[in-house]
Amino acid sequence: MFKKILIANRGEIACRVIKTAHKMGIKAVAVHSEADKDSLHVQLADEAVCIGPAASKESYLVIDKIIAACKETGAEAVHPGYGFLSENAEFSRRLEEEGIKFIGPKHYSVGKMGDKIESKKLALEAKVNTIPGHNEAIPGPKQAVEIAKSIGYPVMIKASAGGGGKGLRVAFDDKEAFEGFTSCVNEAKNAFGDDRVFIEKYVLEPRHIEIQVLGDSFGNYVYLNERDCSIQRRHQKVIEEAPSPLIDPATRKAMGEQAVALARAVQYESAGTVEFVVGADKSFYFLEMNTRLQVEHPVTEFITGLDLVELMIRVAAGEKLPLTQNEVKLDGWSMECRINAEDPFRGFLPSTGRLVKFQPPDEIPGQVRVDTGVYEGGEISMYYDSMIAKLIVHGKDRTEAIQRMRDALNAFYIRGVGSNIPFQAALMQHPRFCSGNFNTGFIAEEYPKGFHGEDVPHEDFGFLAAVAACGRRTYIDRAVQISNQARGMGRKVGAEWTVLINHKYYPLTLTTIDEPGVNGYQIEMEDKSYRIISDWRFGLPLFTGTCNGEPICLQIERIGLVFRIAHNGVICKATVMTARAAELLALMPEKLPPDMSKFLLSPMPGLLREVAVAAGQEVKAGENLAVIEAMKMENVLKAEQDCTVDEVLAKSGESLSVDQPILRFK
């Protein structure tokens, strides 16, 4: 067994690998860019080596620097994590030449299966079901349009070296094929250094289901059931679960055997994932093979009881797989939510900055797990992907897993940067998701105009009003205890209150529960009553306790006289006041926001790659105005209507903040 390994990655996955290495008694070496010098993976490692500037292409993607770090520290093997160099055949080949073990498949397997065009040809030879398409690299956008037309729309345009949703577009007509090809080429070149692009038929109403495989150097192979990754937004996975609500044992066996046949065809060693697109009739087609560990591997670990990183290390060290296919378990149900630094209420735009507060839910062995590479006070950088953490839960069945995820999301407290927790929590309430009847178009179909707070149903806003009233009363109870007040001048606290939430008033009566050892209030409304017991104190971000005997957990914070409450995907502001104050407030005129319609504002922090127009230029609706790069993704801003540019307010190459003006229109 290795004595020391180097992790050629950063963030959450680097921390994940370091934990298993330490569990196995192996020392871990971290590499980091200048921007990551204070990162969590650097703190957890036994040694750390700086390998260059913030930009990935000058640090994490430079093979020579990784090899030099191995020699400097005496690392015998390298775990690549996912992303960066994890599917780079040249990297694994160079390591082998230097006598350094690659904790992953051999370079020839990476080369064959990491290349989507080559892997599809091999899948055909191995008698694996494949999707119709054009499997050669396409030279230009005009040829892309002709090929797309010959296959028949809709088509999927994909970068050969792509992954993680980058370098991928779906086109429904010639215009989208032309523009999608250009965007794919640019993204692939920047992210992977490989601009080859191919096209295949897009299967309507598809599910994205993948099979985890393991192979060793002795010709032993197993598949570890399936993962359903169909809940995606713009081809980025949002929720993953294992097993799939769609797959039955016969289909699982057929998919698993095809996945193993493909792995065997390329003499695959280590952990890998064979991805399939699956129709509603359970017909399945090979999509691609990821020759690395997947982001969503923890859900497989929960249902099988295996540590995939440990198995990768043992296979790389020359050991045999410790189990046969008949010994693979399928125990209960597991789900993973990717917690990303993005603002769901602003079109999921990236959110960067300092994590002022970071309080994940408590980890419970066998039930709740949090994989993260950040810490409170750390920074979410614009240079890398937007992942803050992965929240994984396990239950005896899908219903229990969903309930456990709801509770964990309610207890996940982040401030300083925006996060997609409200969106994840909303998905966990959605009837269609809970039914298991969904496909990869679920989010686009259910939220066609984006995600808005008012889209999220809450079973009981009266309950939220009651909690807000409890919070207000807790502050008042402290205030009336101030000493040295003049006799007869103490505040008399009334029982009648009104709570304003989403333009609706909730009149209520609130009284203290007069029982020894009980902290709580009794709230009466017109048609409901709530007995809320809680030890909540000022400054605590989570309001926990019971309501009518049932456990509750909400996020609550006081902003002036307003309480911001988050629960089950709903975020609302609650104003608690006397009945007379509510009458007067209803008479106040509403203050309108300033008119910014004549400006193009940056919707996110990022780098202004291009300004596509000039002062005085007439622009038609739909034309490109500017391109902003943030977290490795290109975001094209288009004109919403015909207009004329009055002034260009920002220059190409400039770093933009949120809502910074880029253009002014006449």
Among residues 79, 75, 70, 67, which one has the least CA distance to residue 2?
Answer: 75
Among residues 599, 564, 351, 381, which one has the least CA distance to residue 472?
Answer: 564
Residues 6+ apart with CB under 8 A from 503: none
Helix 63-73 crosses helix 89-97 at what angle (to 10 degrees)?
30
| Exposed/middle/buried for residue 492 (C-beta within 10 Å: 0-12, 13-18, 19+) | exposed
Q: Which listed residue (87, 288, 336, 342) is catalytic? A: 288
Q: Give dist(CA 177, CA 36) in Å, integer.
A: 38
Q: Which residues make beta-bridge pairs with 213?
A: 223, 272
| Exposed/middle/buried for residue 541 (C-beta within 10 Å: 0-12, 13-18, 19+) | middle
3-state secondary structure 65-109: HHHHHHHHHCCCEEECCCCCCCCCHHHHHHHHHCCCEECCCCHHH
Distance of CA 496 to CAs 78, 145, 586, Å? Answer: 66, 68, 17
Residues 6+ apart with CB under 8 A from 183: 169, 634, 636
Q: Give dist(CA 147, CA 138) in Å, integer.
A: 9
Residue 88: phi, psi to the nearest 5? Answer: -100, 110
Pairing of strands 77-79, 4-7: parallel
Retrieve residue 99's tokens: 């006598």
Q: Give dist(CA 386, CA 573) in Å, integer.
A: 27
3-state secondary structure 432-486: HHHHCCCCCCHHHHHCCCCCCHHHCCCCCHHHHHHHHHHHHHHHHHHHCCCCCCC
Query: Catalytic annotation on 557?
Result: no
Q: Give dist(CA 295, CA 213) in Å, integer.
A: 15
Q: Which residues make beta-bridge pairs with 663?
A: 600, 648
What are the strands, taking DSSP E only, across 96-165? 101-102, 133-134, 155-163
| Dihedral, CA of residue 396, residue 401, residue 404 and residue 408, to nearest 10 | 140
Length of the chain: 666
Q: Give dist(CA 648, CA 457) in Å, integer.
A: 42
Q: Give dist(CA 368, CA 366) in Å, integer.
A: 6
**Helix, strand or coil, per DSSP, at residue 121:** helix
Among residues 473, 532, 477, which one has the least CA distance to residue 497?
Answer: 473
The single-letter DSSP state of residue 406 is H
Q: Give dist(CA 238, CA 574) in Å, integer.
A: 30
Q: Give dist(CA 1, CA 5) in Å, integer.
A: 10
Pairing of strands 101-102, 77-79: parallel
Q: Supply the residues annotated as catalytic.
A: 288
